[in-house]
Amino acid sequence: MPKLVNLGSLGIDHVYSVDHITSAGETLASQTHDVFPGGKGSNQSIAAAKAGTQVVHVGCIGPDGDMLLDVLRDVNVDVSGVRVGEIATQHAVIQVDRQGQNAIVIFGGANRTITQQDRDVALSNIEPGDWLLLQNEINDLDQILEQAAERNVSVAFNVAPVDGREKGYDYSRVGLLIVNEVEAASLSGETDPELAFEALTSRYPDTIVLLTLGKDGGIYGGGKYPRVEYQAHVVDAVDETAAGDTFIGYFMAEWLRSKDLAKAIEDASAAGAIAVTKPGAASSIPSQAEVAAFKEAQTR
């Protein structure tokens, strides 16, 4: 089976449970403080590995990031391409309210020190049929996209989080563009998700666009695939952190396995729904067995 090479972010999450998300000028006491492994790239690698695909993770951590390597190794992710630098590992401050919604502040740290060497390591791991997975938490993505295009590498790009840089990338050679409604609006200039989807699929006719809408499901299609809407599962949310990353990891695993968009969405939606019922980021990502049991229960 093809493998997933993730040139992606790694991070440490500091999670605070609050009554509500703080507003400007407000000081709020947190009921708890937990530290979890995180980073969109790392979360997506863990999810894809738990979903049963071979994953190679390439990136950079600081001297404080050893626990992230342990977590990735525990699910058999190849971390031989993760470089330890001098700058501290990315960390995030995450507020989670009583409804499971969050607000996040990120310090990019080592994730913003990706070098040509790191790009070469990632691309040298790509074999025919493999896919390269990217997120918008690392630096020099324009160069990565250009080099991937030169080598005819299949690229899946989760353009998250938006920070202004995303407006300057060339997405014409991206095979799979994964965005939520905020990211889709930034790329398309359309605030309505339907119009944003139409704009992106029109602008990039050879690209599959996957637009996720949280509890409202999402839309996918483009390239040779028709436009399809999907529904989200209804669950009691505890913490939505990493639900999107779980969705993407499970989606990529099934996409590599079968190239069946509908099946990939089905598995990804179930995995993402489970993730929001647990606290934490990487710690909330379910196993294949949990996803299978959830899907069976939903069918009943």
| Maximum C-alpha span of the chain | 53
Of 235, 253, 291, the C-alpha closest to 52 is 253
Q: Tally helices (H) and strands (E) across the chain.
A: 9, 13
Q: Does 245 qualify as catalytic in the annotation?
A: yes
The crossing angle, in degrees rounded to 10, of helices 261-275 and 288-299 is: 100
Residue where the block lists tokens 């965005």: 179
Distance CA 291, CA 31 (A): 30
Residue 171: CA atoms inside 13 Å, Cβ hemisphere, count? 27
5, β-bridge pairs: 56, 132
90-96: strand order across its sheet? 32-38, 11-17, 90-96, 102-107
Q: How many CA atoms lie within 13 A of 30 on its CB side?
A: 14
The answer to whether the peptide bond before residue 128 is cis (omega within 30 degrees of 0) is no
> Which of 78, 118, 245, 267 does the annotation list as catalytic?
245
**Residue 260 identity (one-letter amino acid):** D
* Residues recognised as catalytic: 245
